[in-house]
Amino acid sequence: MERFVATGGCQLVGGVDVPGAKNSVLKLMAASLLACGRTTLRSVPDILDVNVMADVLRALGASVERDVAEGSLSIDVPERPTAAADSDLVRRIRASVVVLGPLVARCGEARVALPGGDAIGARALDMHVSGLAKLGAVVDVESGILVARSSGRLQGASIWLDFPSVGATENLLMAGVLAKGTTVIDNAAREPEIADLCAMLVSMGARLDGAGTSTLVIEGVDELRPTTHDTVADRIVAGTFAIGALMTGGDVLVRGGRADHLEIVLDKLTTAGATVDTRPDGFRVRAERPPRSIDVVTLPYPGFPTDLLPQTIALEAVSEGVSLITENVFDSRFVFCRELSKLGADLRTDGHHVVVRRSDRLVGTHVAASDVRAGAGLVLAGLVAEGITSVSEVHHIDRGYAAFAEQLRLLGADIRREPRGGPDARRDDR
């Protein structure tokens, strides 16, 4: 029960380091289950979700060691992992459902609870289930548990995804690498995190083509070997600091950020008034003048990412003009807008759309994070609001941002973390 307390009026100025991606490392951890022995991941972010996934793997029989200072994580996988994932842990993060594919491929059986996580709408598992069925698994739901069984080795198949689902692509990709024969996944997700998973699987001995495209062709192999892999940089964390730089009239060097993974986002920020310079070690975002409004439509990669939508809405609340924001990925993403309006944002939602007009001023008050990105958006809004803004439910932010308050303080923000019921700030911002 802690909160972030921010005093508005700052400019974010300086440099920030981008860690490995939350949306990749959790899937890389699941992929370690595909090979017996020790796999080591580097550039691992110090976030809550990594701790939860580590516990998921431990419950499956793996040994997990973490060096936070070095940003590394080692996973020792037994000859035969346990087939049943811990239900309480799986329900804490949705990403944990990706142990389903590796487990059924290695063990011939997997028992995984229907996952939990952010309150941003339904994320159906139909494509996971139908894809595994095409590979030869029988999948049922028993008392809230997904149970997948295969009487023998999975068989390669042609799979068409109705929507380029990241989770379904990852699960079917990891199942397909140990299936007999050829698996083709059409309309696959193209996110950089998918390409990162493909790179790790290839280093483990997988045979696949099409990483980064909408068609993945996988030639199944009999077994994989453990590996060492560097996690791709977190484009959502990088984008959050880029948006924060423009919102606050600041100047931030995003070290380690991949501009090529944020092309449409950085283009939108340029239209809104930022100057973006790409460098060998990242990119720099400078606010040369107050921001002006932009229209945004979220789409699967390479479109505008839904995970940067709350931060963008916060930006639009202080941008000159009127913007139309359209959400095409999650049906409850605009829950965030109710909290932002408490700060004085001028918002009107209509289904999958929100119209944002520049508010005369935002004024600090108490708000609550409902998910990882909503929390980040509310913190950014607090940095430009008059007075003091308190953001509670910060465990959501901890799931995706390492030492968020500390990073913002290094950029000049007046922000601290404190117990919900008391004034004393905690020193450890993780």
Residue 396's identity, in one-letter code, is H
Q: Give the pair of three-digit tokens for residue 316.
A: 């639009």
How far are the Cα atoms of 75, 146, 171, 266, 281 from residue 35, in angstroms, in the given order?
A: 10, 23, 16, 38, 33
> Is 276 flagged in the annotation as binding?
no
Q: What is the 3-state composition of the chain as percent helix, strand, coil, each rounded to the nearest 5?
A: 35, 30, 40
Largest CA distance in the chain: 65
CA-based nearest residue to 24, from 194, 173, 206: 194
Q: How many CB atoms lie within 10 A of CB 182?
A: 15
Q: How far apart are CA 315 and CA 292, in angstroms?
A: 9
> Is 187 flagged in the annotation as binding?
no
Q: How many CB atoms lie within 10 A of CB 262?
A: 25
Owner of token pair 């997990």: 64
CA-based nearest residue to 387, from 354, 348, 414: 414
Please name the residues in contact with 370: beta carbons below 8 A apart, sequence gap of 6 or more. Answer: 118, 119, 120, 335, 336, 339, 393, 396
409: exposed, middle or buried (C-beta count within 10 Å: 0-12, 13-18, 19+)?
A: middle
> Is 140 flagged in the annotation as binding?
no
DSSP assigned state of 426: P
Q: How far apart are CA 382 and CA 415, in angstroms?
A: 9
> Is 23 flagged in the annotation as binding?
yes
Q: What angle do CA 214, 219, 222 make, to 5 degrees?
A: 140
> Is 329 flagged in the annotation as binding?
yes
Q: Which of 17, 49, 86, 118 is catalytic?
A: 118
Asked about 118 being catalytic, the answer comes back as yes
Q: Please say whether the beta carbons of 111 and 145 come within 8 A.
A: yes
Give catalytic residues, as residue numbers. 118
Q: Residues marked as binding for UDP-N-acetyl-alpha-D-glucosamine?
A: 94, 307, 329
Q: Residues marked as binding for phosphoenolpyruvate?
A: 22-23
Q: Residues marked as binding?
A: 22-23, 94, 307, 329
